[in-house]
Structure 1
C-alpha cells in the first residue's frame, strides 16, 4: 500500500470511527456532516468525498461496527446450542448468546422510527429478526411449535425486549432466564388455534 492509499484509508477510518461515536450519542439524523468532520478533525468536504450520502455512510459504519461487536451468525446456532437436548437449556443458551451480543452493542443497536426507514437499517433489522427466529426454531426443534409459534416466541429474544428488561434493572442472567421461562410457559399454556368463520353470533342475529 503506497503512502497516498494509506492516508486515504486512515482518513476513512477516522471518519467512520467519529460517525459511529456520534450516531450512538445523537442518532443518525441528529448527526451532521459538520459534526463528523469536527469529531474526525477533517474538513467537511473530506467527509463528503468519502461518503457523499447516508446510503453510503450508514452501511460502511454498520459493517465496521459488526466486525467489532461480533454478532452471532445463523451458521453458529449448532455450536451455540452444543449438546443440549432439553428445550429449556437449548433456549437458555440461545438467550445467553443473543443477550451477550445485545449487551456488547448497547446504544449502537438502538434506532428510532425515522432511522428504520433507511435501507441499510431495514436490511439489518430484517436480518436480525430472521436470525433470532431461526435460533428459536432450532432450540425448539424437538417441540416442533410451527413457524407461527416460533415467530411469536421470538420477540422475547429480540433486542427491544432485552433492552426493556435491562432498563428495569434485570441482570443479563435474569433476563435470559425470564425470556426462556416465558417462552416455555407460553408454549405449554397457549390456547388451541381457532378457525375464523363468518358465522354471526346468535346474540347479533335478528
Structure 2
C-alpha cells in the first residue's frame, strides 16, 4: 500500500469518526432538549469539536435531522412493512392477528421512547413530516393486513389510531405495561369492529 493511499484511508476514517460523534451528540441533545432547543454550539461542545466542524458536516437542519433519523432507525429497528406477513404468521383469528401487530408496533415504540416524540414546530421540518407519514402508512399497512378482509380506508384509519405511537404513549403515561397496552389496543379494535358488524370474534 502506498503512503498516499494509507494517508487517504486514515483521513476518511477520521472524518467518519467525527461525523459519528456529531450525530451521537445531536441525538442525545435533541432527545433532552428538542430539535429547536439545541444549538450548533451545544452540539459542538457535546461532540468536542469546533462549531465550524459541525457546520461543515451539516450546514442546515435539513442536512442534520435526516442523518440523525437514519442512524436512529438503524438502532431502533422499526418493523419493516415487508415483514408483516411473517409477523402475523399463520394466525387466522382476527384477535390474534391484531394482537401480533400490536405487540410488534408497541415493542418498537417502547424501544424508541422519547426518540419518537416531536412537538408542533418540529413537525414542520420536511424530514419530520416524512417520518410521521412513513409511520402512519406503516401502521395502516399492518392493520390492513391484520384485518385480512380487504377493509375500506375508513375502517383501516379508525383502527389504526389505536395502534399509533400517541395512543401507546397515553397508555404508558397511565401506568400500563407494554403488554397490557397491546392487549388493550387489540380489545378496543375488536370492540369497534363488532359494533360495526365486522367480526364475530369474542
Smaller-chain TM-score bracket: over 0.9
Shift of 1:145: 3.2
Correspondence list, 1:27-66, <5 A: 27-66=34-73
Deviations 1:122-157 (A, max 9, x none): 000001000100100100013x43211111110000
Whose radius of gyration is greater, 1 or 2? 1
Name 1:172's counterpart in structure 2: 178
Name 2:196's counterpart in structure 1: 190
The answer to whether 1:145 aligns with 2:151 is yes
Shift of 1:190: 3.2
Q: 1:157 aligns with which of 157, 163, 172?
A: 163
Root-mean-square deviation (Å): 1.3
Shift of 1:158: 0.3
Shift of 1:111: 0.2
Shift of 1:191: 8.4
Task: Report the Cα distance in structure 2 between the residues aligned to 1:98 and 1:117, rounded to whole angstroms.
Answer: 24
The answer to whether 1:93 aligns with 2:116 is no
Name 2:5's counterpart in structure 1: none
Q: Which runs of 4+ in 1 moved over 2 A?
A: none
TM-score for the superposition, normalised by structure 2 = 0.92
TM-score for the superposition, normalised by structure 1 = 0.90
- Uncovered stretches (5+) of structure 2, i.e. residues with no partner: 1-7
Shift of 1:34: 0.4
Q: 2:85 aligns with which of 78, 89, 104?
A: 78
The answer to whether 1:136 aligns with 2:143 is yes
- Uncovered stretches (5+) of structure 1, i.e. residues with no partner: 193-206
